[in-house]
Structure 1
Amino acid sequence: MKRIFLSGILTLAFVFTGCKNENTTAEERVDENTNLTQEDSDMMMEEEEEVKEITVQFQAKSGSTLSGNVTFMEEDGEVTMNAKFSGLKEGMHAIHLHEKGDCSADDGTSAGGHWNPSNKQHGEWGSAKGYHSGDIGNFDVNAEGKGSITFTTDEWCIGCDDASKDILGKSVIVHEGVDDFSSQPSGAAGKRIGCAVINM
Structure 2
Amino acid sequence: MRRITAMTTVGLATLALAACNDQAKMDTGAPVAGGASATAQLATATGAPAGRATATEVAGGLRFTVDASGMPSGTHGAHVHMVGRCDPPGFESAGGHWNPTQMKHGTMNPQGPHQGDLPNLVIGNDGRGTIGATIPGATMAGLLDADGAAMVIHAGQDDLKTDPSGNSGARIACGVFQAG
Q: Same fold (TM over 0.5)?
A: yes
CA distance in 1, matches of 2:101, 2:135: 16
| Corresponding position: 1:138 with 2:138 | no
For the residues of structure 2 that align with 1:65 and 1:178, how far apart are their CA atoms?
22
Q: Contact 1:66–1:88 (CA<8 Å) still a contact in 2?
A: no
Bigger share in helix: 1
Aligned to 1:113: 96
In the aligned structure 2, how far is the partner of 1:136 from the partner of 1:121? 13
**How many Å separate the matches in 2 of 1:135 and 1:82?**
13
**1:121 CA displacement:** 1.7
Q: Indicate the residue corresponding to 2:86 in structure 1.
A: 103
The answer to whether the Cα contact below 8 Å between 2:78 and 2:151 also exists between their aligned partners in 1 is yes
Measured in 2, the distance between the counterparts of 1:114 and 1:99 equals 6
Taking every aligned residue pair, what percent have the same amino acid on both sides? 32
The offset of 1:64, in angstroms, is: 8.3
> Does the CA contact (< 8 Å) of 2:40 and 2:150 recur in 1?
no
Q: 2:40·2:151 contact (CA, 8 Å) conserved in 1?
A: no
Aligned equivalents of 1:155, 1:51: Cα separation in 2: 15
Give the aligned length. Answer: 145
Q: 1:167 to 1:138 in 2, by over 3 A?
A: same
What's the C-alpha RMSD, in Å, of the aligned pairs? Answer: 2.0
Aligned pairs for 1:1-200 (under 5 A) are 48=33, 50-61=34-45, 67-124=50-107, 127-159=109-141, 166-168=142-144, 169-200=148-179
Change (3 A) 1:131 1:77: closer
Unmatched 5+ stretches in structure 1: 1-46, 160-165
Instruction: Flag structure 2 segments of 5+ consecutive residues without an equivalent.
Output: 1-31
1:145-176 deviation per Cα after TM superposition (whole angstroms, max 9, x unaligned): 110111112221112xxxxxx11111111001
More contact order relative to length (CA 8 Å, sep ≥ 6)? 2
- Bigger CA radius of gyration: 1
SS at match of 1:58: strand
State the TM-score, normalized to the length of structure 2: 0.72
Residue 123 and residue 75 in structure 1: after superposition, are their counterparts in 2 closer, same or farther (change >3 A)?
closer
Aligned CA distance change for structure 1 residues 110 and 96 (closer, same or farther; 3 Å): same
Deviation at 1:80, TM superposition (A): 1.2
Q: Distance in 1 between matches of 2:79 and 2:70?
A: 19
What is the TM-score when the length of structure 1 is the normalising length?
Answer: 0.66
Alpha-carbon separation, structure 1, partners of 2:124 and 2:175: 22
Which amino acid is the alignment partner of residue 173 of structure 2?
G
